[in-house]
Every structure is written in C-alpha cells, then in structure tokens.
C-alpha cells in the first residue's frame, strides 16, 4: 500500500517537475522517494511469511534500484538491471518456489530458533553494521584522482556505446573469464538438478 502511494506520488512529482522544467528539484525528490520505496520493499522481503510475496517485494526493490541507476546517469545498467535481475533471475526464483510448492503452510520456516535470542541478536548485529557503515561513510573523503569520463563526455558518446567499447578493450580479459564462469555455472546447474537415472 505504502509502495503504491509513494509510487503515485513520485509519478505526480515527476510530471509536475517536467511541466515546470525544474530538473534538479525533481531529481532530488525522485531519489528520496525511490530510495524509501527500495528500503520499504527490502524490509518486506525479509519479513513476509509467504516466499512468493518476498519475490514480488524484491522485484519492487530491484526496479527502484534501476531508477537510482538512471538518476546516476547509468542508462545501460538500468536496462540490464530490469532485464537480467527483475526479468530473468526473479522468474527463476518464482519458478523454483512454485516447483517446490512452497506456500504459506510449507514455507520452510518451521521449528524454533536454535539459538536463544537469534532474531533479536541478529537485528542488533545488523543495526551495528549499519551504524559502523554510516560512521565510515560520514568520516570518509570521496575525492582523489578523477577519471576522464564526465557526464557530458558520456552523453556525447552514449552510455551503452561506451560500456561496449570498454568491455572489448580495457576489460577484455575479465569479459572472457566471465564467459568461462557462465559456462561452468551452466554445467554445474545441469549436473546438480539432473535426476539420477534409476538402474
């Protein structure tokens, strides 16, 4: 519900911003809206009882993150995020959940905590991690040596074209190693999921 309301709010703000031609203000408002949607649906991922609802919430988070990528001027990654993550990987998750028939009654959460205060202590640990991260971010200086690809240069060449060019020049070796990784993953998946033939 909150997600729907904030989505509609973001849409209205975006339309008003485009009409009034105040791009900077619109971008700021849009970032905070999208960030809050991402956080709310990420919390929803880990508190939902039904795994299907968790998958749907994760899709909302991934789409919000792709909008954050758009605000950061990474158009190609935003498209890939939606196609690969929200499209392919999440469909794989949904497919496995439906194949294993994991509903509300068979959610794989049965049994009590093995540790005495597992939930409380893990939330405490996560909060501690967050506080440490924020302290590090606040006390860091994000300056230093900058590259040559400013926003204007990227927009002149085109984000997708630049990513492609760099993939086949500077990042050629990692790119080829990635293909070997994917090949190994394909073979591993088939071997693991294959049904043993009864003799």
Q: Yes or no: say if 99 and 62 are a contact pair by the CB < 8 Å rule.
A: no
Q: Which of residues 125-144 bind other proteins (CB under 8 A)?
A: 125-127, 129-130, 133-134, 137-138, 142, 144
Q: Which long-range contacts (CB under 8 A, 24 or more apart) does 148-153 make?
A: 151/73
Least CB distance to other proteins at residue 155 (A): 12
- Whole-angstrom CA distances from 72 to 7, 68, 156, 172 are 19, 6, 16, 25
| Residue 16 in the binding site for other proteins (CB under 8 A) | no
| Residue 148 in the binding site for other proteins (CB under 8 A) | yes
Distance of CA 151 to the CA centre of its chain: 23
| Residue 188 in the binding site for other proteins (CB under 8 A) | yes
Q: Which of residues 52-111 bind other proteins (CB under 8 A)?
A: 54-55, 58, 61-62, 65, 68-69, 71-74, 76-77, 80-81, 84-85, 88-89, 92-93, 96-97, 99-100, 102, 107-111
Residue nearer to other proteins on the CB measure, 2 or 151: 151
Q: Which of 1, 105, 114, 116 binds other proteins (CB under 8 A)?
A: 114
Where b means 16+ CB within 10 Å and e means fewer, 12-22 reads ebeeebeeeee
């Amino acid at each position: 519900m909150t997600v729907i309301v904030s989505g509609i709010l973001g849409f209205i703000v975006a339309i008003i911003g485009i009409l009034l031609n105040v791009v900077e203000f619109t971008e700021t408002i849009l970032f905070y809206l999208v960030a809050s949607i991402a956080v709310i649906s990420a919390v929803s991922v880990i508190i939902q009882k039904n795994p299907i609802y968790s998958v749907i919430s994760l899709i909302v988070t991934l789409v919000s993150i792709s909008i954050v990528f758009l605000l950061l001027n990474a158009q190609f990654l935003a498209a890939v995020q939606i196609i690969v993550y929200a499209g392919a990987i999440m469909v794989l998750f949904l497919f496995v959940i439906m194949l294993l028939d994991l509903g509300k009654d068979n959610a794989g959460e049965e049994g009590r905590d093995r540790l005495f205060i597992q939930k409380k202590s893990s939330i405490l640990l996560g909060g501690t991690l967050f506080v440490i991260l924020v302290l590090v971010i606040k006390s860091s200086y994000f300056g230093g040596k900058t590259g040559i690809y400013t926003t204007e240069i990227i927009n002149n060449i085109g984000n997708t074209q630049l990513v492609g060019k760099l993939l086949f020049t500077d990042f050629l070796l990692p790119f080829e190693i990635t293909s070997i990784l994917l090949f190994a993953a394909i073979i591993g998946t088939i071997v693991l999921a294959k049904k043993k033939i009864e003799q």
